[in-house]
Amino acid sequence: MSTQAGVAGDKPNIVEVRRLIKHFYREDKTVVPAIDNVDLEVHPGEFVVLLGPSGCGKTTLLRCIAGLEKPDTGSIQIQGKKVFDSSLGLVVPPERRNISMIFQSYALWPHMSAFDNIAYPLRSRNVTRASIAERVHGALKLVGIPELAGQFPAQMSGGQQQRIALARAIVSNDDLVLFDEPLSNVDAKVREQLRIELLEMQRKLGFSALYVTHDQTEAMALAHRVAIIRLGKVVQIGSPRDVYERPNSRYVARFVGTTNELKGTVVSAPGSDGTVRVATELGEVVAIAANPAFKTGETVAVVIRPERCTLSSTEPTAPIRWQGTIDAALFLGSHTEHVVRIGERAFLEWGVGSELREVGARVWLTVAPEHVRAVTILDPTEK
Ligand X SMILES: Nc1ncnc2c1ncn2[C@@H]1O[C@H](COP(=O)(O)OP(=O)(O)OP(=O)(O)O)[C@@H](O)[C@H]1O
Report what 24 binds from ligand X, Mg ion, none; CB cut-off 5-8 Å by kind: ligand X
Q: In angstroms, what is the minimal distance from the CB of 75 to ligand X? A: 19
What is the distance between the terminal CA atoms of the chain, rounded to a whole angstrom?
Answer: 54
Residues that bind ligand X (CB under 6 A): 24, 26, 32, 34, 52, 54-60, 214
User: Which residue, 21 or 282, has its beta carbon nearer to ligand X?
Assistant: 21
Stretch that binds Mg ion, among 11-19, 53-61, 136-144, 331-339 (CB under 5 A): 53-61
Q: In angstroms, what is the minimal distance from the CB of 231 to ligand X? A: 9
Report what 317 binds from ligand X, Mg ion, none; CB cut-off 5-8 Å by kind: none
Stretch that binds Mg ion, among 55-63, 194-202, 203-211, 304-312 (CB under 5 A): 55-63
Q: In angstroms, what is the minimal distance from the CB of 56 to Mg ion? A: 9
**Region at 142 (left for phi over 0; alpha for psi -120 to 50; beta for the rest):** alpha
Alpha helices in 214-311 (DSSP H): 216-222, 240-245, 250-255
User: Which residue, 60 or 202, has its beta carbon nearer to ligand X?
Assistant: 60
Binding mask 116-155 for Mg ion (x = CB under 5 A): ----------------------------------------
Binding residues among 10-39 for Mg ion as defined by CB under 5 A: none
- The footprint of Mg ion on this chain (CB under 5 A) covers a number of residues equal to 1
Q: In angstroms, what is the minimal distance from the CB of 33 to ligand X? A: 8
Length reported for the chain: 383
Amino acid identity, position 136:
V
Q: In angstroms, what is the minimal distance from the CB of 219 to ligand X? A: 13
User: Which residue, 59 or 202, has its beta carbon nearer to Mg ion?
Assistant: 59
Q: In angstroms, what is the minimal distance from the CB of 296 to ligand X? A: 37
User: Which residue, 27 or 147, has its beta carbon nearer to ligand X?
Assistant: 27
User: Which residue, 223 or 288, has its beta carbon nearer to ligand X?
Assistant: 223
List C-alpha distances in Å: 236 to 132, 133, 206, 230: 41, 43, 25, 9
Alpha helices in the chain (DSSP H): 58-66, 114-123, 129-142, 158-170, 188-205, 216-222, 240-245, 250-255
Report what 26 binds from ligand X, Mg ion, none; CB cut-off 5-8 Å by kind: ligand X
Query: Which phi and psi angles does 19 have, rounded to 5°?
Result: 45, 45
Q: In angstroms, what is the minimal distance from the CB of 44 to ligand X? A: 26
User: Which residue, 59 or 236, has its beta carbon nearer to Mg ion?
Assistant: 59
Which of 59, 117, 162, 248 lies at the binding interface for Mg ion (CB under 5 A)?
59
Q: In angstroms, what is the minimal distance from the CB of 58 to Mg ion? A: 5
Query: Which phi and psi angles does 308 have, rounded to 5°?
Result: -90, -5
Report what 201 binds from ligand X, Mg ion, none; CB cut-off 5-8 Å by kind: none
Bridge partner list, 176: 99, 208
CA 108 – CA 380 distance, rounded (Å): 43
Report what 54 binds from ligand X, Mg ion, none; CB cut-off 5-8 Å by kind: ligand X
3-state secondary structure of 245: helix
Under 8 Å between Cβ of 139 and 122: no
User: Which residue, 23 or 224, has its beta carbon nearer to ligand X?
Assistant: 23
Edge-to-edge strands, sheet with 225-230: 99-102, 176-180, 208-213, 47-51, 225-230, 233-238
Q: In angstroms, what is the minimal distance from the CB of 148 to ligand X? A: 28
Distant-in-sequence, close-in-space partners of 196: CB < 8 Å, separation ≥ 6: none
Under 8 Å between Cβ of 301 and 328: no
Stretch that binds Mg ion, among 5-13, 56-64, 68-76, 325-333 (CB under 5 A): 56-64
**Region at 283 (left for phi over 0; alpha for psi -120 to 50; beta for the rest):** left
Under 8 Å between Cβ of 39 and 215: no
Q: Which stretches of the chain bind Mg ion, using CB under 5 A? A: 59
